[in-house]
């Protein structure tokens, strides 16, 4: 294979396009900030000279890698896919690229990936939730890199959060269920170990039960993986109890859809024989039959705001401001009055 010819420099491109080197940099990294005519002049010079930016030089000049790491449980989940897409779009608009690692909901995998992404020179990190060892927070502080937690708001967290209140959101949904006369309530939750979002939703349901004189400790509860089949199995198990629940609250829409499928297989009508609710309001919630009553979470807005928070922390070297995004209950057909009314 032939050797590559001597590479064109940033100066060469700037000279050819008749602009400053700063303008050339901006065209390549934050093109939305450059007037179209200028951008076209520069890109034309870039192509003619076959210019590939010397990333190392820019990194040294800015003392920044313009790369931000995101560690999420999995990409194969509508809420993270949606939120991460918005996160990456905002990063890109500001000239940053995203490194992604997934931890499969395992805290030890998250810790290893935090070290790895920082070793790769990430300027900042996006993490999910607040469940991690104190030692990991201590390590992050010593690295002096901006870190933001998303999907879970916590006023007193070690790091800023861009999230929402999982506990009060689920409580509000449970209140609607209780208002419709349901007394025998059951829950299908995600695995709460290492997952504060799942745990806080269980707490929220119990808060609502206590507020209405129901025995929160007697709550029939199954924790399982966020998968449709797991939701189906859990639902069948709950409905085989001597005292059948009249409402099954699910930790997310995926579990709720699993519950709906199981109900259909068992010949149970939703909501006439049993009500089912979800959490998140992903597209599936509207397509399911019946459509799911659920908590609407603004995933895209959260991803976008998390990106802005990180960029601000990196560029202003500030501490970062937490954001608590509002959620609301989306009332649809899967929740109806208790059959015993």
Sites of contact with a second copy (CB under 8 A):
1, 4, 28-29, 31, 46-47, 50, 52-56, 65, 67, 74-78, 80-82, 84-85, 88-89, 92, 97-102, 112, 115-121, 135, 139, 142-144, 228, 257, 261, 283-284, 287-289
Strands 294-296 and 328-330: antiparallel
For the packed helices 36-49 and 21-29, what is the interaxial angle rounded to 10 degrees?
90
Tell me whether residue 22 or residue 211 sits nearer to a second copy (CB atom): 22
**Minimal distance, residue 300 CB to a second copy, in Å:** 8
**Minimal distance, residue 302 CB to a second copy, in Å:** 13
Tell me whether residue 221 or residue 291 sits nearer to a second copy (CB atom): 291
**Minimal distance, residue 66 CB to a second copy, in Å:** 8
Tell me whether residue 4 or residue 267 sits nearer to a second copy (CB atom): 4
**Minimal distance, residue 60 CB to a second copy, in Å:** 11
**Minimal distance, residue 28 CB to a second copy, in Å:** 7
Cα gap 327→321, rounded to integer Å: 19
Tokens standing for residue 203? 């707490």
CA-based radius of gyration for the chain: 25
145 closest CA partner among 108, 120, 112 = 120
Cα gap 218→253, rounded to integer Å: 24
Taking residue 180's Cβ as centre, other Cβ atoms within 10 Å add up to 16
**Minimal distance, residue 316 CB to a second copy, in Å:** 15
Tokens standing for residue 259? 């519950």
Helix, strand, coil % over all residues of the chain, rounded to 5: 50, 15, 40
**Minimal distance, residue 283 CB to a second copy, in Å:** 6
Q: What angle do CA 179, 183, 187 make, to 5 degrees?
A: 100
Tokens standing for residue 220? 């029939």
Concatenated DSSP letters of 230-276: HHHHHHHHHHTSSS--SEEEESSHHHHHHHHHHHHHTT--TTTT-EE
Q: What angle do CA 69, 72, 75 make, to 5 degrees?
A: 110
Tell me whether residue 53 or residue 181 sits nearer to a second copy (CB atom): 53
Tell me whether residue 214 or residue 260 sits nearer to a second copy (CB atom): 260
Tell me whether residue 210 or residue 264 sits nearer to a second copy (CB atom): 264
**Minimal distance, residue 206 CB to a second copy, in Å:** 30
Tell me whether residue 153 or residue 226 sits nearer to a second copy (CB atom): 226
Tell me whether residue 246 or residue 252 sits nearer to a second copy (CB atom): 252
């Amino acid at each position: 294979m032939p050797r590559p010819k001597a590479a064109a420099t940033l100066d060469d491109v700037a000279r050819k396009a008749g602009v400053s080197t700063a303008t050339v940099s901006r065209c390549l990294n934050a093109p939305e900030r450059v007037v179209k005519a200028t951008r076209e002049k520069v890109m034309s010079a870039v192509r003619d000279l076959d210019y590939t930016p010397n990333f190392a030089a820019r990194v040294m000049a800015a003392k920044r890698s313009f790369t931000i790491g995101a560690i999420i449980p999995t990409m194969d989940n509508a809420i993270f896919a949606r939120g991460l897409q918005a996160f990456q779009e905002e990063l890109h608009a500001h000239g940053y690229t995203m490194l992604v690692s997934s931890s499969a909901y395992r805290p030890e995998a998250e810790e290893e990936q935090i070290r790895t992404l920082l070793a790769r020179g990430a300027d900042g990190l996006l993490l999910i939730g607040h469940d991690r060892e104190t030692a990991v927070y201590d390590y992050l502080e010593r690295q002096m890199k901006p870190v933001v937690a998303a999907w879970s708001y916590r006023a007193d967290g070690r790091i800023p959060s861009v999230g929402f209140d999982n506990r009060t959101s689920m409580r509000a949904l449970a209140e609607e269920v209780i208002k419709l006369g349901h007394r025998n309530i059951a829950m299908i939750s995600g695995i709460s170990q290492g997952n504060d979002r799942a745990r806080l939703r269980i707490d929220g349901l119990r808060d609502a039960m206590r507020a209405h004189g129901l025995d929160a400790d007697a709550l029939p509860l199954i924790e399982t993986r966020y998968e449709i089949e797991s939701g189906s199995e859990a639902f069948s198990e709950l409905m085989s109890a001597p005292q059948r629940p009249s409402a099954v609250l699910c930790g997310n829409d995926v579990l709720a859809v699993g519950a709906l499928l199981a109900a259909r297989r068992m010949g149970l009508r939703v909501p006439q024989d049993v009500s089912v609710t979800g959490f998140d309001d992903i597209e599936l919630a509207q397509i399911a039959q019946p459509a799911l009553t659920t908590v609407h979470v603004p995933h895209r807005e959260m991803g976008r705001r998390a990106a802005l928070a990180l960029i601000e922390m990196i560029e202003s070297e500030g501490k970062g401001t937490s954001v608590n995004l509002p959620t609301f209950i989306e009332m649809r057909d899967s929740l109806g009055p208790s059959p015993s009314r």
